[in-house]
Amino acid sequence: MSFGQGGPQSQWDPWKPQSQQPQQQPWNSGEGDNSPDWAALAEASEARAKRRRLLFVGGGALATVAIAGAVAVAVVSANGTGQASDGPSSQLPATADIPSATDATPSFAPTSAPPPLDPKDFISSAKKDKAPLSPDLLFTGTQLTMGETVYKKGPTADTRTCGSAAQKTLPKVLADNDCTRLMRVTYTEGDTAVTVGVAVFDTEAKALRAKQQADKKSIIRSLSGGGVKSFCTGAVCRSTTNSYGRYAYFTIAGFTNGKDVTEKTTEVFRAGDDLAEFTFRQIHRRGETQASAAAEG
């Protein structure tokens, strides 16, 4: 069958790249010789469609291979030396050799360090509070600086008869809770003087109960001597009560010149609060020292 005008007859094969597709005219030009071959056109169209399907399937297969290769290289790079591999895909590990996500999970050895020791545990009962104890060990040095104020250390006292160093309602409170020892120390700053009394009990519960049972009349005796004039023997003074661990501590503050303490004499309030805070710190430091020694031992 001839297509076009003149020239040799050309047969088009869709599978041969050298063949040329003739110009097709799917209409009737009026001449019987030029009627299109509908069967040939349908066959050519089916061949083209089949070729496109093959190309799409082949392209998808190539894309799948490329993705699989990228995953394999990524796994090797992440779990190997960290360098990209340029070798052929045959050198990549098999699927069974590729580490799983659980294999890559880091593991840590359990720590063997014990928890830190609580300093308060060592000052809460006589069974653990074994360090040496005295007024000079608890209140070291010859003076105390709190902020910008310097307090000079005066006389100290230590007794196993707790009631003898207390007055008003405090002796009974100490006796009812089995006080074993009462230490006192006095600090001065100008005409202001403060005596701190530390009562020792066997347990924290007894010290706490003594604090709770103490009232406004539960006060310790002021301690004078060694250059410190007598104070708080007849004048109005300020007192405080607190406890920490197996220790209850008390302060009494006033003037060495005999004046009464009033709400306006703020220096006495400050001095009593400073010495109460310092006493708490010293008791806590005692617990820290014993806790540290136990941890090292």
d(CA 206, CA 248): 9
Residue range(s) in the chain whose domain bears CATH number 3.40.1000: 119-296
> What pLDDT was estimated at residue 279?
98
Whole-number Å distance between alpha carbons of 152 and 228:
10
Distance from C-alpha of 81 to C-alpha of 84, rounded to nearest angstrom:
9
Question: 42-48 long-range CB contacts below 8 Å, 24 or more apart?
Answer: 44/12, 44/14, 47/14, 47/15, 48/14
pLDDT (mean) for 140-155: 96
- How far from chain centre, in Å, is Cα 233? 52
Averaged pLDDT of the chain = 78
| pLDDT of the residue at 40 | 65
Q: For residue range 84-124, what is the model confidence (pLDDT) as tens digits?
A: 444 444 444 444 444 555 555 555 556 556 678 999 999 99
* Percent of the chain whose pLDDT exceeds 70: 62
Give the mean model confidence (pLDDT) for residues 256-278.
97
Task: For residues 60-82, give the mean pLDDT.
Answer: 41
Q: Looking at the domain 119-296, which fold is it?
A: Protein Transport Mog1p; Chain A (3.40.1000)
User: In whole angstroms, what separates CA 236 from the centre of its chain?
Assistant: 49
CB 48 within 8 A of CB 14: yes
Model-level pTM greater than 0.85?
no
* Helix, strand, or coil (residue 181): strand
Of 25-34, 181-190, 192-201, minimum mean pLDDT range: 25-34
Q: What is the pLDDT of residue 92?
A: 44
